[in-house]
Amino acid sequence: MAELADDEHKLHVRLNSIALPEHLRQSILTSAITLVNQADKSAAILANDLERHALSEAAICRDQCEELHDIQPQERAALARQCETLLLDLVHSAQPLHELKARSIG
């Protein structure tokens, strides 16, 4: 949220440095708010899609681990958990980057 506030402040500073009629300044601010809202919605949809995809890939990995009959069941289960954790952590670490890019307005 701090990045969004900073970007909003930058937008206001940039707008204030341009000689514009007030109605045009307000129109630009309204457009910026609309863009940020669309970016937030898109980021949420992307995050949801990535999470679903990671869970699907984790299930595939879990199935592949179950096919490793040359290791003990508890080792297979541990490998499956590690695989799931790896994939989900990757998606979760990528989300703040997507959110930051989506929220940038200036």
Domain positions in the chain are 50-106
At 95-106, the pLDDT tens digits run: 665 455 544 444
pLDDT of res. 4: 62
C-alpha pair distances (Å), 93 with each of 57, 85, 86, 97 = 17, 12, 10, 8
Torsion angle defined by CA atoms of residues 14, 26, 98 and 2, in that order, rounded to the nearest 10 degrees: 70
Query: pLDDT per residue over 33-75, tens digit each?
Result: 888 888 888 888 988 999 999 999 999 999 999 999 999 999 9
CB of 87 closer than 8 Å to CB of 61? yes
Q: Highest mean pLDDT: which of 19-23, 36-40, 68-72, 90-94?
A: 68-72
pTM: 0.63
- Six-digit token string for 70: 């040359």
